[in-house]
Structure 1
Amino acid sequence: MITLDSPVAAVLGESRKAKKFTDGLGMRTVGDLLHHFPRRYVQTGTLTKLDDLQPGQMLSVVGEVVSSQVKSHTDRRTGKVMHRVETSLRTDGPRLQITFFARSHQSAQWRATKLAPGQPGLFIGQAKLFNNQWQLAHPQMVLFGAQGGSEDGDIATVEAIADLYPIYPLTKGLESWDVARVVTFARSVVDTLPDVVPDTVREQYDVVDAATALEWVHVPERLDQVEQAQRHYRFEEALVTQLVLARRRRAVRALGAQARDGGDGALLTAFDASLPFELTGGQREIGEQVEADLANPYPMNRLLQGEVGSGKTLVALRAMLRVVDSGGQAALLAPTEVLAQQHHRSITALLGDLAGGGVFGGTSVELLTGSMSKAQRTGPMSRLGSGEAGIVVGTHALLEERVQFADLGLVVVDEQHRFGVEQRAALTDKAGSPPHVLVMTATPIPRTVAMTVFGDLETSVLRELPAGRAPIQSNVVDLVEHPGWAGRVWERVREEVDKGHQAYVVCPRIAGDELEQGEVDVPEVDEDGEPVGSRVDRPPLAAVEEVVTELAEGPLEGLRLAVLHGRMAPDAKDATMRAFAAGEIDVLVSTTVIEVGVDVHNATAMVILDADRFGVSQLHQLRGRVGRGGLPGLCLLVSHTEPLSPARDRLDAVAGTTDGFELSRVDLEQRREGDVLGRSQSGWRSTLQNLRVLRDEQTIVEAREAAEALLETDESLGGTPLLADAVADLEASANADFIEKS
């Protein structure tokens, strides 16, 4: 009996193309073959409409033969007689010329007979323009209703073909009809198709059964059947994913944790009373959610996302103070030393006298980073171990085994995508019982991404900006069409400094080709995949150490300039940031180390050089460093990229809105989804095969609802063994790490 788990050889046999399926397409089982879905469908009943042909474009067209002529010529170099068939093809648009070469005159005549006038078929090849005539190069074809096979083996004939012909993802040496034939045979010999989605759930959410979905995805008669088949596979994938996440949420609750109800609330009350401003409505609302979570006898596991400057750190600090009021300790884990030092300074400043530890109701705030000497660490580590210190801010140094806590009650992780799950686990393992966890990100995440990738965390969104946040004007400075604008960029920087303000200049490199540690370049590529930046017509990418010299000796001569990047010694970085915050530096030339957390209210201008080398979210984060002190901000996105290119579209999107949530959707729509959810974010490629988190938003919402209902009545999924197996497979696979990365 052949099943979905049978080796794919059971249906491929000893076919000479078998290795192309196994090696080229990576198929191992019959299930892999049957779930190799068409990427699109060609309507066979009508000629293909060709509106806007481009040279090099791959075409799959339905056409009708107008004429076929056999021609011969003698190769001047070899003296050999060559034979060819020149065929004219009618489409709903320009005619296409197709040339077939044959080994003999007899073979050419045979082909011309097959390609008789009026013969319809599916023709696949690359569009080329030669002598003002469109041609289809390297053609392959399926002739509709033709009789007999091909002596050359390169003409497929199909007597009965559906109205929709499937076009499959392929590898070299395979054509769509090769896949279609094998799939048809496999469908005929597989006895049963397991339905992972329970019947009751399918009926409730209008999902067709597995057998129907498989037939309609491979041999549909109508487009609505394709849509219903695709819904089956998308819903199934969403349901399994949401069950994994829902079970993880339940597992966290089952761990148990010490409730942190805030005790008498003396420290938090004193802190709130000392604030010179009112909390925003969003800060109050999310603060209440966090307080309720902390009071539960199971761990809080919450994602706090919000716009740049929305006040996430204040929400986190109030949560930390509540834990200290409860007799516990709190740790804030930052991805870089610059950010850790910035958090330590801002938290200490916010607490004022309450940060001394000696004042009644206060608590000491410690800093622990990898660059601190053993002597510098001794005091903070001792106070953490004894419980004297209530709050610690640090980098990866907090993960070291020798760092111990008296009673770690809360872990706040800032910019979580910079940390793997193992690192976060190392910190939470230091607590006697599982600590509460608050994950913060300033990268706005579309709702369905949060539900799919961070679905094991409860999500809070802080949209409201505090009073005093000024608007930021963003402009693209196109140096391709307007090279003269470069001078005006530096005039604007000098104008801001003359007003008593400060500015950032951001570069994609430290020196030469050296990137900031952990940085990912987003180069613009042409149609052949060649980085546009490698072309001779583009200037070298801006680097901090070269740019600061050019500016100091040129357009910004006389201003106080300084550099900041990750290769500098930690003390030097900290001293530079302190000097900039104190107004002792006019222009800070930096890499992206200032992307998050840096808070200098007097900075009003930012110039991002080679802005097309940064992603949408990163540009939004960088821009958020200005306009923080109630003064209008200016962000100039300087680029040498061509208009109408994808990179230029990114820049125009950033310049067009300051809504981070809208930009996050633009980012996800423009980039390949696997890049967003996969290796660049978590170390593994995305496991999402059929599901797309923006396109299938409603499906994901329904699947989450269905998952919760299933677990409510049958937490072990014992009544749905096929679904339980699918969930277990995802939980056990290495790819599940992409879900767990949060």
Structure 2
Amino acid sequence: MSAAPAGRGPQRGASPAATLERKFQRLGLRDAQDFIVHLPMRYEDETQVVPIGGLRAGQTGQVEGEVLHSEVQYHPRRQLHALLEDGTGRLALRWLHFYPSQQKQLARGRRLRVRGEVRGGFAGIEMVHPKVGAADAALPEALTPVYPSTDGLSQPVLRKAIDRALQQADLSDTLPEAIRERYGLLPFDQAIRVLHHPPPQLSYHDLVERGHPAWSRIKFDELLAQQLSLAQARAARLRQRARSLDQDGLLRRLRERLPFTLTSAQERAAAEIAADLRRPFPMHRLLQGDVGSGKTVVAAMAAAQALSSGSQVAIMAPTEILAEQHFQKLVAWLEPLGVEIAWLTGSLAPKARKAALAAIAEGRAGLAIGTQALIQDKVEFARLDLVILDEQHRFGVGQRLELSRKGETQGEPGYIPHQLNMSATPIPRTLAMTFFADLDISAIDELPPGRSPVLTKLVSDARRDEVVARVVEEVRQGRQAYWVCPLVEESEALQLQTAVDTHARLTQALPGLSVGLVHGRLKPAEKAQVMQAFRDGAVDLLVATTVIEVGVDVPNASLMIIEHAERFGLAQLHQLRGRVGRGSAQSVCVLMYQAPLSMVARQRLRAMYETTDGFEIAQRDLEQRGPGEFLGVRQSGVELLRFASLETDAQLVERARAVAQELREAFPRHARAHLERWMRGRQDFLRS
């Protein structure tokens, strides 16, 4: 009989052991080493029984009592109900899903021990789906661990398997004793046993809040494994080969033609990238800079150096609007110098696509700019030696690797293209030290001269008429404005102002103005037409969703209104604000919010009001929302950190970084053992 497809349940006739093994594998548990680091997500205090009369809604409690009655009720749906009494009060018990054995367990007159979350019910307090046991069973002396599980895998079965692994697994320490003592870290075997079997005297708070020294050791080990893996990835890259792109004829001509002077930050970043490109191993650099800091021209200089060396360059952006923005700028800078540039997106007509593919494959087009269309099977390069990814965190691991592989398959075997990642979302220092430690980072931390800071104003949507009047005034002075809305269609759940409705209302309210509309569901050609009209000044006010978050550069636009600003993340608000302030006129960003504001929304809007520094914004965003916003899909869906927290464990990150270097240099055997214990083949998720 053939095996059941993955995710379709157990194979008919499969042995209980095989079924259990599949459930373990869903959790990534394959051998004893996996089980010992499968640590509790929380602990339950089953060491004491409390009186029913002392229970309060919202708490978790354990009580003992006598079953007064139990019955199956059918209104509003089939449910099992029971009532428990202990002399101090009564507690209702309820099950929406139950078995006949549970009905027998709840026979009238039986004494039971139940544990669960207390809720307020119609007739007093109740527990829904509580844990039930015999009242005469011995109480545990210590806290009970609760592990991450999967459907059909009970906690007792998981605990038994972990206990068996603790007897079988190698618990020897992967840290030299001198390092443990230097940082006051518990031995590994002691830490792991404490977390799986907490001693009776252990503080519940220390365990749950992960402040106990046992947790400190585990968090340190996890961060150290990550640092070792990233260092290994960097070392592996240094062993790879890439073409040395050491010619700069075209680069010098580009510099001569630029109509502006680069800032010192741009010069520094360009010099770092140029040095990388001359090396015989692949560059893996992140160019980060605030919105409007001038990353595109630095990327153009890198492209010019590669083109001077007879190589091809690919620039991939996550949206067609952003890709088109790059295309227009690079055409203006490089085509006069004799560079043929190919444009490739999913919306190209078949004839234009065929011509672009031919130009790329034959090497006539030295530079290819586009969206994910660049990584399709039919796209072949003659000699791709530099790939540039804009807003790199929006691409998946597979997409980034796929573009790089377009260069590996051409020309001499064994050569890897250089890679430049760009991001307008600055990476906070703690994050750079952890998830981006394998990258070299260049920062453009100053804006070009002539840019005046954007004024940010917080306005309640009750003052909408004043905001509309401000739009009229701005247009009367010959300038343009954006009006950003979060959704395209009406959502009763969120009750947000929609782009479509807003466009209709503003068109009616502003009869003398040309009001355009752009959103993600427009056909690419329609979207491009509206954007071009806005760039040309034919549209005064552009109503848009967040498709204009990146890549839109209209110097004449000096007013940005963001509807329901409280619904956006900090990084996204900052990106949107960066669409104005690109000309010489004083620009204003109006954050229009709907009261009342939650505490988080209030902090977010205050941060926007208090600073225009993208690096400061990024740090506050990390503190408020965690690392996911910055990483995007860098981990390809793998959990970022299971135990450590970048917000609270910054000191451990610093120590892990220092120890990783020490282990690699002085204790390579310990480094290998540590990676084997903690990474278990997951290192590749950190290498794209």
TM-score interval, normalised by the smaller of the two chains: 0.7 to 0.9
Structure 1 regions of 5+ residues with no counterpart? 1-13, 48-52, 89-96, 115-121, 142-149, 514-532
Q: Which residue of 2 aligns with 1:522?
A: none
Aligned-residue offset at 1:656:
4.0
Tell me the amino acid that sits aligned with residue 367 of structure 1.
W
What is the aligned partner in structure 2 of residue 723 from structure 1? 674
Kept in 2, the 8 Å contact 1:87–1:99? The answer is no
Aligned counterparts of 2:238 and 2:291: Cα–Cα separation in 1: 31
Secondary structure at 2:212 match in 1: helix
Equivalenced residues, count: 636
1:690, distance to aligned residue in structure 2 (A): 0.8
Which of 538, 561, 568 pairs up with 2:522?
568
Residue 581 of structure 1 is matched in structure 2 by 535
Secondary structure of 1:577's match?
helix
State the AA in 2 paired with 1:506. Answer: V
Give me the whole-angstrom Cα distance separating, in 2, the residues matched to 1:364 and 1:314: 18
SS of aligned partner of 2:437: coil
- Aligned CA distance change for structure 1 residues 673 and 202 (closer, same or farther; 3 Å): same
Aligned to 2:118: 126
Provide the residue aligned with 1:628 in structure 2: 582
Aligned position for 1:542: 497
Rounded to whole Å, the distance in 1 between the matches of 2:553 and 2:151 is 58
Indicate yes or no: 2:267 matched with 1:314.
no
Distance 1:296 1:604, change over 3 A: same
How much has 1:71 moved relative to structure 2?
12
The 3 A distance-change label for structure 1 pair 491 and 24 is same
- Give SS of 2:337's match: coil
Amino acid at match of 2:243: Q
Name the residue aligned to 1:523: none
* Cross-structure match for 1:219: 198
State the partner residue of 2:617.
663
Shift of 1:179: 10
Instruction: Give the conservation status (yes or no) of the 8 Å contact 1:196–1:236.
Output: no
Alpha-carbon spacing, 1:193–1:572, altered in 2? closer, same or farther (3 Å): same
Q: Does the Cα contact within 8 Å between 1:686 and 1:738 map onto a contact in 2?
A: no
Q: Partner letter of residue 234 of structure 1?
A: K
User: d(CA) in 2 for partners of 1:54 and 1:505?
Assistant: 52
Q: Does 1:448 align with 2:399?
A: no
Question: Does residue 233 of structure 1 match 2:218?
Answer: yes
Q: Specify the SS of the correspondent of 2:443.
A: strand
In the alignment, structure 2 segments of 5+ residues that lack a partner are 1-15, 74-81, 94-104
> Cα 1:301–1:126, aligned 2, differ >3 Å: closer, same or farther?
same
Q: SS of the residue aligned with 1:302?
A: strand
The verdict on how the C-alpha distance between 1:55 and 1:586 changes in structure 2, with shifts beyond 3 A counting, is farther
Contact 2:174 2:670 in 1 (8 A): no
Give the alignment partner of residue 397 of structure 1, picking from 373, 385, 388: 373
Structure 1 segment 16-165 matched on structure 2, within 5 A: 32=35, 35-37=38-40, 39=42, 56-59=57-60, 85=85, 99=91, 125-126=117-118, 128=120, 153-154=134-135, 157-158=138-139, 161=141, 165=143
Q: Does 1:739 align with 2:665?
A: no
Residues 191/444 of structure 1: CA separation in 2 closer, same or farther (3 Å cut): closer
CA distance in 2, matches of 1:709, 1:74: 65
Letter in 2 for 1:490: V
> Is contact 1:69-1:86 (8 Å) kept?
yes
Letter matched to residue 696 of structure 1? D
Matched residue SS, 1:589: strand
Shift of 1:368: 3.0
Aligned to 2:243: 258
**For the residues of structure 2 that align with 1:379 and 1:668, how far apart are their CA atoms?**
45
Q: Determine the structure 2 residue equivalent to 1:147.
A: none
The 5-angstrom pairing of residues 545-694 of structure 1 reads 545-553=500-508, 555-640=509-594, 642-644=596-598, 646-647=600-601, 649-671=603-625, 683-694=636-647
Shift of 1:590: 1.6
* Distance in structure 2 (CA, Å) of the matches to 1:453 and 1:34: 21
Deviations 1:477-503 (A, max 9, x none): 444xxxx32222222222221222111
1:288 counterpart (267, 271, 275): 271
Alignment pair present for 1:696 and 2:637: no
Preserved contact between residue 92 and residue 127 of structure 2 (Cα < 8 Å): no
Identity fraction in percent: 36
Q: Which residue matches 1:345?
A: 328
**Residues 290, 55 of structure 1: CA spacing in aligned structure 2 closer, same or farther, 3 A cutoff?**
farther
List per-residue Cα deviations over 1:289-348 (Å, max 9, x = no partner): 111111111010111112111111121112112222333232211222221211111223
Residue 403 of structure 2 corresponds to which residue in structure 1?
427
SS in 1 for 2:582: coil
Structure with greater contact order relative to length (CA < 8 Å, sep ≥ 6) = 2
Given residue 237 of structure 2, which amino acid in structure 1 is its aligned partner? V
AA paired with 1:356?
A: P
Name the amino acid aligned to 1:694. E
SS at match of 1:237: helix
Residues 73 and 215 (structure 1 numbering): CA distance in 2 closer, same or farther, change over 3 Å? closer
Q: Does 1:409 align with 2:409?
A: no
State the TM-score, normalized to the length of structure 2. Answer: 0.78
Contact 1:202 1:208 (8 Å CA) reproduced: yes
Partner of 2:443: 461
Compared with structure 1, are the counterparts of its residues 703 and 85 closer, same or farther at alpha carbon in structure 2 (3 Å cutoff)? same
Q: C-alpha distance in 1, partners of 2:137/2:588?
A: 62
Distance 1:136 1:371 in 2: 58
Q: 1:682 to 1:549 in 2, by over 3 A?
A: farther
Asked if the contact 2:375/2:402 (under 8 Å) is kept, the reply is yes
User: Which residue of 1 is the match for residue 8 of structure 2?
Assistant: none
What secondary structure is seen at the aligned counterpart in 2 of 1:342? helix
Q: Aligned to 1:505, which of 483, 491, 514?
A: 483
Matches within 5 A, 1:130-209: 153-154=134-135, 157-158=138-139, 161=141, 165=143, 168=146, 189=167, 193-199=171-177, 201-209=179-187
Distance 2:168 2:606 in 1: 52
Check whether the contact 1:34–1:187 (CA below 8 A) recurs between aligned residues: no
1:471 is displaced (CA, Å) by 2.1
Q: 1:495-532, CA deviations, whole angstroms, 9 ceiling, x for partnerless residues? A: 2212221111222333x36xxxxxxxxxxxxxxxxxxx
2:561 & 2:288 partners in 1: Cα distance?
26
2:680 alignment partner, SS class = helix
Structure-2 separation of matches of 1:124 and 1:137: 6
Letter in 2 for 1:219: P
- Aligned residue for 2:664? 711
Which residue identity is paired with 2:245?
A: R
Alignment check: 8 A CA contact 1:258 1:298 kept = yes
SS of equivalent to 1:330: strand
Q: 1:38 to 1:405 in 2, by over 3 A?
A: closer
Q: How far apart are the structure 2 equivalents of 1:39 and 1:374?
A: 57
1:400-427 alpha-carbon deviations (Å, 9 max, x no partner): 4444444323111111123233333333
1:203 positional shift? 4.2
Aligned to 2:470: 492
CA contact (8 A) 2:227 2:437 kept: yes
From the superposition, tell whether residues 385 and 126 of structure 1 become closer, same or farther in structure 2 (CA, over 3 Å): same
Aligned to 1:519: none
AA at the equivalent of 2:677: A
- Of the structure 1 ranges 31-40 and 629-638, higher mean CA displacement relative to structure 2 is found in 31-40
Distance, in Å, in 1 between the alignment partners of 2:70 and 2:264 is: 84
Residues in 2 aligned to 1:182 and 1:485: alpha-carbon distance in whole angstroms: 63
